Amino acid sequence: MRYQKEDLSKGQRGGIMIRAVVAGAAGRMGGRIIGMIHQSEDLALSGAFEHPEHTKVGRDAGEVVGLGPLGIKIERSLDDIIGGCDVIIDFTAPEATLDNLRLAARHRVSMVIGTTGFNDDQLKEAKELAGKIPCVMAPNMSVGVNVMFKIARETARFLGDDYDIEIMEVHHRFKKDAPSGTAIRLAEILAGSRNRDLDEIAVYERKGMIGERRSEEIGIQTWRAGDITGEHTVMFGGIGERLELTHRAHNRDNFARGALRAARWVVNQAPGLYDMQDVLNRMGTTAYIGIGSNLGDRYQNCLRAIDLLGNTPGCNITRCSDWFWTEPVGVSNQDWYLNGVASVETKVSAAELLDILLSIEKEMGRVREKKWGERAIDLDLLIFGLEIIRDDVLAVPHPRLHTRRFVLVPLVQIAPDLIHPTFGVTMKKLLEGIQKEGQEVRPMKG
């Protein structure tokens, strides 16, 4: 993962920024993704592009999508801007996506692909190219739809062959491919759950004297009307009853949120082709880490600690606060600290994460000789999911978290509504109850 201290679309920030380029920037999905990036604390819009003949090429991307000027011009090709990004988010068309994927593979840049409508040859090439870089490719980025995938698979296994399967999908009149990629993926999952080849059992239309329905077939029906964002239903029809699973998308924001979630995840993965199930299954516990230094080059010390943590297997840094100069607490005659807080998605245990933090401190030269002594780096495990642990080695939540402004100010910046597992109140509420005297906190400037 690369780090950027300047958010190109929102000005100076102090933390980790994932630089994202959006394909199809003037389209419906491209616009919502840009809007979500603009609201994000950890992603920056570093570029946007459309096909060369598009009427919006050359205009400010923010103005095109209704956000006001962002200082990012819509370019006519990815080639012009790929050098300055960490991840490309692409919800366009199969041929355009393949062109972008070829370029990303050459430049070794991660991709998130939500494009649907690939034919067999295109899909084969896309999968071959995607395997050369970290790439999430999924027909639907919605978290709800991906939960539906899992439920549908298990339901088919439980109900068995006594229940017929029909899939119905409904979309707006402007959608070009049919059936939707999500409906096809549902059909693939359901066929696989019964050990059948979808190509042999799929039925896409029925007309005339077709005879009785075969028990093994999976019907896939398509409706197009108005401005419907998207609706998918799986019906399991038995004798005397039926069970239906339905997902309705009210707008495109859920797809955009899923794409951003995939972007945050994929930039920390090894080259390979992933889908949203990988993103959801491999994202573990959210932990919050306090970072501080009051010896040497404090800013570089903090950045190096983040770099070491972010490159540790099983640790994916998702957000980092701005940096703050903070008054030493409990001691005198020490330089002020530089403090911040980072959130980490991790699959390791709290004890293992503590060992990782201690090993980073040791690698950076910290020697624990004196309590509250000066230090080049200090890494504290503040919160680990909802866990409350008190033993001889580990205490989470951090026992003094609720009393320290130098921790709560940066923590509230990235997670104001995070609930303290012990006290049951938000971090914002805890901060409001702390006196400022003797705990001055000042934003780092420049």
Task: Classify residue 302 as exposed, middle or buried by CB count within 10 Å of its CB (0-12, 13-18, 19+).
Answer: buried
Based on the residue annotation, tell me whether 232 is a catalytic residue of this protein.
no
> Phi first, then psi: what are they for 191, rounded to 5°?
-65, -45
d(CA 269, CA 86) in angstroms, rounded, equals 12
Helix ranges (H only) for 72-231 are: 94-107, 120-130, 143-159, 181-193, 198-201
Q: Which of 199, 317, 263 is nearest to 36 (CA)?
A: 263
Q: Which of 65, 55, 57 is nearest to 9 (CA)?
A: 65
**Residues whose CB is less than 8 angstroms from the CB of residue 333 and which lie 6 or more positions away in sequence, other chains included:** none
Contact 236, 157 (CB under 8 A): no
Identify the three-state secondary structure at position 103: helix
Name the pairing type of β-strands 315-320 and 389-390. unpaired
Please state, as a whole number, how many other Cβ atoms lie within 10 Å of the Cβ of residue 178: 17
**Residues whose CB is less than 8 angstroms from the CB of residue 309 and which lie 6 or more positions away in sequence, other chains included:** 289, 315, 317, 342, 344, 356, 357, 360, 379
d(CA 446, CA 435) in angstroms, rounded, equals 27
Q: Which of 175, 347, 428, 429 is catalytic?
A: 175
Based on the residue annotation, tell me whether 107 is a catalytic residue of this protein.
no
One-letter amino acid identity for 158?
A: F
Helix ranges (H only) for 330-404 are: 350-363
Q: Which of 38, 73, 171, 402 is catalytic?
A: 171
SS3 string, 38-88, reads HHCCCEEEEEEECCCCCCCCCCEHHHHCCCCCCCCEEECCHHHCHHHCCEE
Which residues are identified as catalytic? Answer: 171, 175
